[in-house]
Amino acid sequence: MLLTESQSKDMLRAHGIAVPEGLLIRKPDQIKRWRGELPVAIKAQVASGGRGKAGGVLRANGVAEAQFAAKQLCDMKFGGEAPRALLVEPWVAHEREMYLAITIDVTAGGYVVLYSPKGGVEVENNAPLQYAFGSPRAFRAHALRKLLGEAEPDAGLRERLITLVRRMLYLATAADAMTVEINPLTVVDGKLIALDAKIVRDEAAAFRHADLAAEMEDARKREPKAMARALADNLMMVWLDGEVGLISGGAGMTMAAMDMIADAGAKPACFLDCSSNPTPAGYKLAFSILDSEPQVKAILFSIFGGGTQIDRVALTLHDVLKARKSKKPVVIRMNGTGREACDAYMKEVGLLNHDSLEAAVADVVQKAGAA
């Protein structure tokens, strides 16, 4: 889960990493509470990237100007998201902008440190230096020192960077963070300060972090109603806004079916993977969500089950479809462990179990177009 800047900075501060002293406000006129220095930076708090480039950070020299800027930001959207709050901070005059992050890398089998002496909004144009170490216990300051020597001539700064990486690593371990990114990182009077920060916490670790579980619950509530229902019941869903409903199992097959629908000239309505909840309740909910969305014209039910025994899925689906009220066309493609039983169950509800995904996609795209 991607945290906002202010949430991320709270975690940095708690782990001994310097950040500007800011004020978090929910409404523009709360800026009157600011007692710090002027000018200020006013920063939209959203959990999406590219905020700086999109104009989500404004500078104000006085209170009236700040209030105006705050109103302006509250009316903007970033990656479709309205700001949840604004972070007000003293405007930190600085010369250098560096990039420093630790993040997960599959080939490294764990964490890597990324460092670029030139950070800021254009960081993607310069490939950062990379130190891959995997397990936090395998991190070696001397290996990082050697690497930084190539890019950072100031020996004192190198040591402060290494100390900072250590703290970021403690934070990542303690909070189950997959990414801790500081960009830009700057130097003021010899001291490293995180001007902006982004932390991604591991949702799979929510069972051991009450604060993360609560944050995920809040994030669910911010989703549109259909999404919130799916996520609350452990269905993996992404809304894609097309006309072909897709109920599937397994991330790879769900994406393969999405791609095939798109190749057939139609648009999938969603990525909806039921493999985490392959129960009567899970499938019933999946149909109920797609049936209640008027833009969904037809539904493809496509599952290739291994551990999810497909004969059980077919029986469940049979019961769900018998009780279902909606007249939206449903197209079926089921295969996998126990597949012999599927055709008969589907025949009882008047449906054909297609042999191939291609045939099923052609059928559902045709039915969605005709509806």
Contact residues for another protein, defined by CB under 8 A? 48-49, 79, 104-107, 109-111, 124, 134-138, 173, 176, 178, 202-205, 207-208, 236, 238, 240, 249-256, 258-263, 268, 271, 273, 275-276, 303-307, 309, 335-337, 339, 357-358
* Residue 157 or 205 having the CB closest to another protein: 205
Burial, 369: exposed, middle or buried (Cβ in 10 Å; 0-12, 13-18, 19+)? middle
Alpha-carbon span 300 to 294, nearest angstrom: 16
**Closest approach of Cβ 237 to another protein, in Å?**
9
Distance (Å, rounded) from C-alpha 279 to C-alpha 313?
A: 8
Question: What is the rounded (10 degree) CA torsion for 117, 118, 124, 125?
Answer: -110
Q: Which two tokens stand for residue 340?
A: 């012999």
Can you say how many angstroms the Cα of residue 250 is from the centroid of all Cα atoms in its chain? 19
Smallest distance, Å, CB 49 to another protein?
Answer: 8
* Cis before 39? omega within 30: yes
Secondary element (H or E) of residue 332: strand 330-336
Cβ 279 vs Cβ 305: under 8 Å: no
> Could you tell me the two tokens for 62?
């006085």
CB 268 within 8 A of CB 237: no
Contact present, 195 and 95 (Cβ < 8 Å): no
Going by C-alpha positions, the residue among 96, 84, 20, 18 that lies closest to residue 56 is 84
Question: What tokens were used for 301?
Answer: 């039910």
For residues 246 and 254, what is the distance between their CA atoms, to the nearest angstrom? 8
**Minimum CB–partner distance for residue 272 and another protein (Å):** 9
Q: Which is nearer to another protein, 184 or 268 (CB)?
A: 268
Least spacing, CB of residue 66 vs another protein, in Å: 30
Q: How far is the CB of 186 from another protein (least distance, A)?
A: 24
We find the least distance from the C-beta atom of residue 333 to another protein, in angstroms, to be: 10
Q: Which is nearer to another protein, 19 or 310 (CB)?
A: 310
Residue 57 or 206 having the CB closest to another protein: 206
Q: Which is nearer to another protein, 153 or 252 (CB)?
A: 252
* Helix orientation angle between 357-370 and 251-263, rounded to the nearest 10 degrees: 50
Residue 334 to residue 355: CA distance in whole angstroms: 8
Looking at the Cβ atoms of 36 and 79, the one nearer to another protein is 79
Q: Which is nearer to another protein, 161 or 237 (CB)?
A: 237
Between 176 and 215, name the residue whose CB sits nearer to another protein: 176
Strands 244-248 and 298-305, by their bridges, are parallel
Minimum distance from CB of 338 to another protein (Å)? 8
- By C-beta, is 91 or 271 nearer to another protein? 271
CB of 250 to another protein, least distance (A): 3
Query: What is the strand order of the sheet 23-25 is part of?
Result: 23-25, 85-90, 40-45, 57-60
CA distances from 165 to 189, 338, 364 (A): 20, 52, 52
Q: C-beta of 23: minimal distance to another protein in Å?
A: 29
Smallest gap from residue 271 Cβ to another protein (A): 6
Q: Which is nearer to another protein, 148 or 257 (CB)?
A: 257
